[in-house]
Every structure is written in C-alpha cells, then in structure tokens.
C-alpha cells in the first residue's frame, strides 16, 4: 500500500496546492514542499527497512520484488494496477523525491504568478514519474508515461522563458509533447503487438510484465516490437537523431521544469530500457546492441561538440545531457554487470550535477536577467559563493575523480571494455570534449573581462542549502558509492543474466566475445 501512497500523495498534494492559493501566495509552496518531503521520507524509510541486496540462490527465479501491490483494473484485457518496487525503482523514486524537493525550492522566488496552478502541474509530473518507476503492468506503465507529459507541457508553455523570437516557449512545449506522444504511441502499438502475440500463444489477455516476458516470439516480430519500445525510449533519453525537442524544452522551461526534465524525465527512458526493452526482448536487443552503442557514441560527440558552440547557458547544459546520455546508452547495451551498475550510478550522478547546474543557471538568471553568456564574464568574486559552487558542479559534470559522475562513467567504460573495446576507447575520447565544454562554460561565465560594475546578491540561505546538499551528495556517493550499488545490484544482476543468456544463445551463430 506504501507504493500507492507514493503516487497518491503528490497527486493529492497538487490539488491542495491549487486550492491552497486562496490562503495566500506562500501556502502552495509550503504544501508542495511538505508533500515532496513526505514522499522522500517514505522512500528513505522503505530503503532503510527493506532489504534490496542480492538474494542468494535466486538465479532462476523471476525478478524478486521487494514490495508488490496489485488490484484488478480492466479485467477484459487482464489489465491490473500492479505496482512493484525493487532496488532500481527504489533508487529512482528516491531521486524523484529529492529532485521534487529541489524543484519546489528553486522556484520559490522565480515563480510569482499563478503559484497554485504551477505547483499543481509540478506535483502531477512527479506523481506521473513515480508511477512510471513503480508500474510493472505494461498498460499502467504506458498510462503514467503519457500522463506526465500534460503537466510538463503546461509548465513549459505557461511559466517558461520566451526566447528572443516571442512565442518560442509554446513552440518548445508543443515540440516536446508531440515528439514524446507520437513515439509513445509507437510503444503502445508494440505493447499491443506483444499482448496479442501472447494472446495468440496462450489464449489469454494480459499486460503483466512477468507473463509477457515468457511470450514466445519469432525473431522478426521481436525485432519490430523491440524497435517500438526502443524508439519511444530513444526519443525521451534522447538518442541523437531523435533529440530535437530537448534543447528547446530545457532552455525555455522554468528552472523547476529543467530540473525535472534533466533530472528525472530523461531517467524514465533509461529505466524503461533497463526494465522493459532489454528483459522483454533480450535476443533482439543483443542483436541491436551494436547499432545502439553506435548511436550512443554519436550522441556523446554530437552533444559535446554542440555544447561547445552554445551561447545560452541552459542550452549548453542541455547539450551536455545528450552527451552524458550517450554513455548511459552504451552502458545499457554493453550489458555487463559492471556497466549496468555504472549506468545506475551515472543516472544518479547526472541528475545531481545537471540539476545543480540548471538551478545555478536559474540563480544567475534571477540576478542578471539573462542567460546569454556573451553578456556575462568576470562574475567570479561578484556573486558571493555562487561561482565556487558552479565550479564544483562543472567539475563533477566533467567526471573528475572524487565525484559520483566519475564513478559512473568509469564503471561504464570499464565494464564495456572487455566486450566492446573499440566503443569504450572512442567513448573515453568524449571525456576530453567534456573537459573542454566544462572549462568553456566556467571561462565565459565567471572569468574574462567583467561586463559591468557592482556586486550581485549572495546566495540566500535557501539557495545555499540546496547547493550544499547537492554537493555533499555528489562527494559522498563519489567517495562511497557502495550503498547505491548494493541497492540496485540485484536488479542489474537479473538484467545482465537475461542479456548474457541471449548472448550465449546467439554466440552459436556469431561470436560476441567473452562475458
């Protein structure tokens, strides 16, 4: 039942925020903050009291869920409200809770109009994301997958920053929505294809993850279905040819929206690949892996190169996301346990560092009223401790040892090297580009000739607390990532087992190296 509460609390909290506007402008903020803290606390409680480590001797069993909750929903098609939690979803739900708190905090002063409705949208996004991480009925998963789009659309369209050409925030929001919705429908088609294949084989309709994993599929069909899933996740991740929505959406969204987008919405895609695309179609995914890793490589370099050329600070951070997600994609499709664990760590790390950078961009914007880096420069020493924090997070983002980003990237490269040495070698060249764009960012914003006189306001206590908390987490997990690894270990082990079984199955036709 705790799982249902995790989804319902932000949902109800959002409605309260909307109505809470009657009692003054501050009340929606406090309600939203309380709601997200409650979600975070429940998740941490589950983490503390649950056991998510690798159960011994569970090799042949189905995925052991730590907590499960199910109820009939649409019996006609065997659709259930089926929620389940394991290590992977726990980590991501906790991340959602944390970033939810940050998103509320960072919009404390930024959002001045229609505060209640803003927080309604914000909390509903988070409810949808938590739902995505918990749903293991495919229909329910799709339901939440699509549901989180509408409030995100409103968040960008109504509270976003217009670009130079007037109406672009609405354009950006529409683009985001159409990209993800259309690709989502393809996933729905793939889900239905899988369900009907299962119906054909067994004579019963079901959308249950466990049952559908056992569906016997022909090679051709499973390739097509896998592509349907992959396409939806690739748009959301984003993988390079499908990334068109991301820079605009990130740049035009309000800070809270960017934090949510980069921090958790992108993670839903990686989660979807780990949870659904790989385990449902291991053979097809194994066959597709070279293409996916190639796309990942393209993403790493494309994102990094374009990041170097950006003038808008938020666009720059957005493009670095594309680059980082390239690593995630390689890690997922390399499929060794080390690389998969690295994916989880990098997802968490990316959520921390990127949302911190977006929050800092928001803070600079509040002070300078611009995001254009040509109008910045020489800010070091004029903004109190903000440049110092920015340096820390930029360094984290480029993967400096000691930060959690380093652990993630290192594990991915290390884990994929024995399987695909060339991919790992080329990908590590991307780290050089990461250093270049990171230093460019620091140089243009904080060094160089100052563009004006005078000092800007120092960070207030709220901003200071956000930064310090994130920094502590980046360093803490960077130095001691073991709790994270232990929690997600069992799930990743299961994914790796399925994937390598498929690889063993295929190695009869083509050698794929040792695993």
Partner 1 sequence: MTLTMTHLMALLPLIVVCATAITVMLGIAWRRHHGGTAAVTVIGIVLTLAMLLPIWTMAPVEVPLLVVDGLALFAGAMILISSLTCAALAYVYLDNYPGPREEFYLLLLCAAAGGMVLAASRHLATLFVGLELLSMPLYGMLAYAFSERRSLEAGIKYFILSAAATAFLLFGMALLYAQVGRLDLPAVAAVLGERPTAWGLAGIGLLLVGLGFKLSIVPFHLWTPDVYEGAPGPAATFLASASKVAVFVVLLRLVLSTPAFQDDWLRGVLAVLALAGMLVGNLLALVQSNLKRLLGYSSIAHFGYLLVALVVGDGLATETSGVYLLTYLVTTLGAFGVVTLLSSSYSGEDTAALHHYRGLFWRRPYLTAVLTVSLLSLAGIPFTAGFIGKFYIIALGVEAERWWLVGGIIVGSAIGLYYYLRVMVTLYLVEPGMRRRDAPRDWGGRAGGVVVLGLALLVVMLGVYPAPMIEWVRLVEHITVR
Q: How far is CA 315 from the centre of its chain?
A: 17
Nearer to partner 1, 106 or 173 (CB): 173
Query: Least CB distance from residue 144 to partner 1, whole Å?
Result: 8
Residue 145 Cβ vs partner 1, minimum distance, rounded to whole Å: 8
d(CA 230, CA 273): 7
Q: Rule CB under 8 A: is residue 226 a binding residue for partner 1?
A: no
- CB-nearer residue toward partner 1: 180 or 354: 180
**Which of 4, 62, 74, 201 is in the footprint of partner 1 by CB under 8 A?**
74
Nearest to 197 by CA among 187, 184, 211: 211
Question: Which of residues 215 and 310 has its CB atom nearest to partner 1 in the complex?
Answer: 215
- Using CB under 8 A, which residues numbered 92 to 121 contact partner 1? 114
158 binds partner 1, rule: CB under 8 A: yes
Structure tokens belonging to residue 14: 């959002």
Rule CB under 8 A: is residue 189 a binding residue for partner 1? yes
Q: Does 38 contact partner 1 by CB under 8 A?
A: no
Which lies closer to partner 1 via its Cβ, residue 200 or residue 455? 200
Q: Considering the rule CB under 8 A, would residue 4 count as an interface residue with partner 1? A: no
Q: Is 22 in the site for partner 1 (CB under 8 A)?
A: no
- Taking the complex as a whole, the smallest distance from the CB of residue 31 to partner 1 amounts, in Å, to 18
Give the tokens for residue 483.
Answer: 């709790």
Longest dimension (CA), the chain: 75
45: which residues sit within 8 A by CB, 6+ positions away?
none
> Nearest approach, Cβ of 396 to partner 1 (angstroms)?
36
74 phi, psi to nearest 5 deg: -120, 90
Tokens of 383: 């903004």
Shortest spacing between CB 281 and partner 1, in angstroms: 17
Number of residues engaging partner 1 in binding (CB under 8 A):
32
Out of 192, 328, 349, 459, the only residue in the binding site for partner 1 (CB under 8 A) is 192
Rounded to 5 degrees, what are φ and ψ at 259?
-60, -45
Whether residue 459 contacts residue 387, with contact meaning beta carbons closer than 8 Å, is answered with no
- How many other β-carbons are positioned within 10 Å of the β-carbon of residue 137? 24
Residue 157 interacts with partner 1 (CB under 8 A)? yes
End-to-end CA distance of the chain: 39
Kindly tell me which of 171 and 384 has the beta carbon lying closer to partner 1: 171
Spatial separation of the C-alpha atoms in residues 267 and 344, rounded to whole Å: 10
- Facing residues of 81 across strands? 71
Q: Whole-number minimum distance, CB 328 to partner 1, in Å?
A: 26
Alpha-carbon gap, residue 284 to 224, rounded angstroms? 9
Residue whose pair of structure tokens reads 């809270």 in the numeric block: 256
- Candidates 76, 508, 511, 514; binder of partner 1 (CB under 8 A) is 76
Determine if 135 is a binding residue for partner 1 (CB under 8 A): no
- The answer to the question of residue 173 lying near partner 1 (CB under 8 A) is yes
Do 445 and 373 form a contact (C-beta atoms < 8 A)?
yes
C-beta of 200: minimal distance to partner 1 in Å?
Answer: 9
**Shortest Cβ 265–partner 1 spacing (Å):** 16
- Residue 425 as a binder of partner 1 (CB under 8 A): the answer is no
CA 173, CA 388: separation in Å to the nearest integer?
A: 33
For residue 411, give both structure tokens: 């594990």
Least Å from the CB of residue 69 to partner 1? 17
Task: Indicate whether 186 belongs to the interface with partner 1 (CB under 8 A).
Answer: yes
Residue 188 near residue 276 (C-beta atoms within 8 A) = no
What's the closest the beta carbon of residue 261 comes to partner 1, in angstroms? Answer: 17
Angle, helix 87-106 to helix 26-49, in steps of 10 degrees = 160
Based on the shown chain and the rule CB under 8 A, indicate whether residue 91 belongs to the binding site for partner 1: no
Per DSSP, 77 falls in state G
Give contact residues for partner 1 (rule: CB under 8 A): 72-77, 114, 142-144, 146-147, 149-150, 153-154, 157-158, 170, 173-174, 177-178, 181-182, 185-186, 188-189, 192-193, 196
């Amino acid at each position: 039942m705790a799982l249902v509460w995790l989804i319902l609390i932000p949902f109800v909290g959002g409605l309260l925020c909307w109505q809470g506007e009657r009692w003054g402008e501050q009340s929606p903020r406090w309600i939203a903050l309380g709601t997200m803290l409650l979600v975070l606390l429940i998740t941490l409680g589950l983490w503390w009291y649950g056991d998510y480590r690798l159960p011994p001797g569970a090799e042949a069993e189905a995925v052991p869920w730590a907590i499960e909750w199910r109820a009939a929903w649409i019996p006609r098609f065997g659709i259930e409200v089926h929620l389940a939690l394991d290590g992977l979803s726990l980590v991501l739900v906790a991340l959602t809770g944390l970033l939810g708190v940050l998103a509320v905090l960072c919009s404390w002063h930024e959002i001045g109009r229609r505060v209640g409705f803003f927080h309604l949208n914000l909390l509903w996004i988070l409810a949808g994301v938590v739902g995505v991480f918990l749903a293991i009925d495919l229909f329910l998963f799709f339901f939440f997958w699509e549901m989180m789009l509408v409030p995100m659309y409103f968040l960008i369209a109504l509270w976003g920053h217009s670009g130079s050409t007037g109406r672009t925030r609405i354009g950006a929001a529409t683009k985001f929505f159409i990209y993800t919705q259309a690709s989502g429908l393809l996933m729905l088609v793939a889900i239905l294809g899988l369900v009907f294949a299962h119906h054909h084989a067994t004579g019963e309709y079901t959308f249950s993850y466990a049952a559908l994993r056992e569906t016997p599929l022909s090679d051709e069909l499973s390739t097509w279905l896998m592509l349907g899933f992959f396409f939806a996740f690739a748009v959301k991740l984003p993988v390079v040819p499908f990334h068109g929505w991301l820079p605009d959406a990130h740049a035009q969204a309000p800070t809270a929206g960017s934090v949510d987008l980069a921090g958790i919405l992108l993670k839903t895609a990686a989660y979807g690949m780990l949870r659904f695309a790989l385990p449902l179609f291991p053979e097809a995914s194994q066959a597709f892996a070279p293409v996916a890793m190639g796309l990942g490589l393209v993403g790493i370099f494309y994102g990094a190169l374009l990041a170097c050329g950006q003038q808008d600070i938020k666009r720059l951070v957005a493009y670095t996301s594309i680059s980082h997600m390239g690593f995630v994609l390689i890690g997922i499709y390399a499929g060794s346990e080390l690389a998969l664990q690295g994916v989880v760590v990098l997802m968490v790390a990316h959520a921390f560092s990127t949302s911190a950078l977006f929050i800092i961009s928001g803070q600079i914007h509040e002070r300078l009223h611009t995001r254009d880096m040509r109008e910045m420069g020489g800010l070091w020493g004029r903004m109190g401790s903000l440049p110092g924090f920015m340096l820390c997070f930029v360094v984290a983002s480029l993967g400096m040892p000691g930060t959690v980003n380093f652990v993630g990237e290192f594990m991915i490269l290390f884990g994929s090297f024995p399987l695909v040495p060339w991919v790992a070698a080329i990908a590590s060249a991307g780290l050089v580009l990461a250093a270049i764009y990171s230093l460019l960012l620091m140089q243009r914003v904080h060094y160089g000739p100052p563009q004006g006189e005078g000092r800007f306001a120092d960070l207030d206590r709220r901003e200071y607390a956000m930064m310090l908390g994130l920094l502590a987490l980046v360093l803490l997990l960077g130095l001691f990532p073991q709790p994270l690894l232990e929690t997600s270990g069992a799930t990743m082990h299961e994914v790796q087992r399925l994937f390598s079984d498929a690889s063993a199955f295929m190695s009869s036709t083509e050698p794929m190296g040792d695993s």
